[in-house]
Structure formats: C-alpha cells, structure tokens
C-alpha cells in the first residue's frame, strides 16, 4: 500500500488527472443542489413520495430530479443521442465515411451528437416543464415561463455533457459513465440509512438484510465477469525459414468480448418499457393508464420483457 501511494504521488500526470476528475465531480454535485427557479417544491415532493417511476429515474440523476435542479435531466439526452448516432452510422453513408476517417471523423460525429443532445434535451425539457404546468407545480403557468424552464434544463444537460467530455479528455476513465456512477453512488448513504431505519423498526430482519448484501455482491461479481469475459480464439503462426534461422511457430489468441454490445441493450430496454409509464404521468387517457399499470416497474410483464 505504501509503495502504491508513493508511486501515485510521484506520477504528476496521474495526480493531475485524478484532481481534475474530483473537481468535476464537485461541480456536478453542487449543480444537483441548485434548484430551477419558479418550481413548487411541495408538488415535486408529492410526485416522488408516491413511489412511482420518478424515484427510479432520480436514482440515475443522483437526486437531481427529486430536487428538480438544473441537472434534473441528467446525461440521458446525450446517451440517447449517442445511441441514435451509432444506429445512423450503419444506414447513412456520410456517417459511415466519417467513422472510417479516424480521429477527424470522430470529431465530426461528436459534433453532430452534441447538436442532437441539445435537440433531444430541449424536447425532453419541454415535456417535463409542460408536465409541471398541468400539475400546477409552476409559480407562473405562462408559456413563456415553460420555455424559460426548458432552456434552463437543456443548459444543465449541456453543462453535464461538457463535464463528461472533459473528464474523458483530461481526467480518468469515461466521463459520461463516471457521471452516472457518481450519481448512483451519491444515493448510497441515503439507502444505507433507510435500511438501518427498517432494521430498527422491525420492517426487515437482519437475515433479510444480510441476504440482500450477499445477492448484491454476487450480482456485481457476475456483471464484472460478463463485462470482462473473453472468448479466446487460438491463432497458430506457421514456421518460416529466413536465411539460416527459423522464425514463427508460436501461438497466440484473438480476444473477443463476450458482451460486445455493452449497456446499450439495457438502455434500450429501459427506455422502451418506461415509455408508457412516463406518458401516463402526463396524459389523462384511460387506455394509456391501463397499459402503464400493466408494465409498471417491478411487475411480472415488465420483468419478463426487460429480461428478454
């Protein structure tokens, strides 16, 4: 441990990257506590106290959604724009040519992705603002104020997108993934405190809590094993004679990841299954509400479709 700390302190570049990542995390967490002006906090609290889909979405936002802060939409529009760009790359020749150009083409794709993030972010922000308007959660219900809140939320997502890209460039790891990770970890102390309260009042017993910890650790180990798993294809190089010496004849392997798609299928499944539930929150149509109740989070149809 002492050698690790000594080598870390001796590596200036690594220290700078870690410090830069830490500063970006601090900015992210500060932004979570900056509320959007003109929103009635009591109405937002009632929406989350019902234990519906909003609580699940708030998990990935690191608590920003329940506070309805400037980062309420989190980095979701950027993720959606990135997925859409990956799909369009396979069907639009121009994007496919950019992908083959290397770093220069990657910059062009990133530029289009940013524009797509702004567009998707504004659409999502306008939908959220309109939902607050019909729930009487805005101090001023004028359309001008709805537009103002939409712009504030879009700007917050753009700032998160910039933070994520800067972490990737000057920090450690993938910035977007780290932002999502930081948002989830930020809720961990609150979750632990909730479990302790449940133990004190007798809602759950110590055996159930221990079983939950064991299952959680097993799931983490399984996810890491699948994510890092490789299918190694053996490759045997033929021997060849050059002059008086013989070269080659050694064997190696071609590593193929078991999980090639990463988290993209999970994001797609979550987005598709959350669509009817999200619509039911803002549209007072009975058949939409019936479909939403059928696919509500945690129900057996939702679990089966998500696993499939």
Q: What is the pLDDT of residue 187?
A: 76
Q: What is the pTM of this model?
A: 0.70
Q: What is the pLDDT of residue 296?
A: 66
SS3 letters for the chain?
Answer: CHHHHHHHHHCHHHHHHHHHHHHHHHHHHHHHCCECCCECHHHHHHHHHCCCHHHHHHHHCCCHHHHCECCCCCCHHHHHHHHHHHHHHCCCHHHHHHHHCCHHHHHHHHHHHHHHHHHHHHHHHHHHHHHHHHCCCECCCCHHHHHHHHHHHHHHHHHHHHHHHHHHHHCCCCHHHHHHHHHHHHCHHHHHHHHHHHHHHCCCCHHHHHHHHHHHHHHHHHHHHHHHCEEEEEEECCEEEECCEEEECCEEEEEEECCCCCCHHHHHHHHHHHHHHHHHHHCCCHHHHHHHHHCCCCCHHHHHHHHC
Go through the domains of the chain in sequence order and give each one's CATH number.
1-186 (1.10.3370.10), 190-220 (no CATH)
Q: What is the pLDDT of residue 179?
A: 84
Q: In the chain, which residues have pLDDT < 50?
A: 51-52
Q: What is the pLDDT of residue 65?
A: 63
């Amino acid at each position: 441990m002492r050698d690790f700390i000594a080598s870390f302190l001796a590596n200036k570049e690594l220290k700078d990257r870690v410090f830069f990542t830490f500063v970006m995390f601090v900015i992210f967490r500060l932004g979570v506590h900056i509320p959007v002006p003109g929103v009635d906090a009591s109405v937002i609290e009632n929406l989350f106290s019902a234990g519906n889909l909003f609580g699940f979405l708030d998990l990935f936002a690191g608590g920003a959604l329940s506070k309805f802060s400037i980062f309420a939409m989190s980095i979701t529009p950027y993720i959606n724009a990135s997925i859409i760009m990956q799909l369009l790359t396979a069907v639009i020749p121009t994007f496919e040519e950019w992908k083959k150009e290397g770093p220069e083409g990657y910059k062009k794709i990133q530029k289009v992705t940013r524009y797509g993030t702004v567009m998707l972010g504004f659409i999502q922000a306008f939908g959220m603002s309109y939902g607050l308007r019909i729930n009487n959660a805005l101090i001023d219900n004028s359309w001008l104020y709805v537009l103002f809140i939409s712009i504030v939320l879009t700007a917050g997502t753009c700032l998160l997108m910039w933070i994520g890209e800067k972490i990737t460039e000057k920090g450690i790891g993938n910035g977007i993934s780290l932002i999502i990770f930081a948002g989830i970890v930020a809720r961990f102390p609150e979750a632990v405190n909730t479990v302790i309260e449940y133990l004190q009042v007798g809602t759950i017993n110590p055996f159930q809590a221990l079983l939950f910890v064991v299952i959680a650790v097993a799931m983490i180990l399984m996810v890491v094993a699948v994510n890092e798993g490789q299918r190694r294809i053996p490759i045997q190089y033929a021997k060849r004679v050059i002059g008086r010496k013989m070269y080659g004849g050694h064997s190696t392997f071609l590593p193929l990841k078991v999980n090639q798609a990463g988290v993209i299928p999970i994001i797609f499944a979550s987005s598709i299954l959350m669509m009817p539930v999200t619509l039911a929150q803002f549209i007072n149509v009975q058949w939409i509400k019936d479909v939403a109740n059928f696919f509500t989070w945690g129900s057996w149809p939702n679990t089966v479709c998500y696993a499939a």
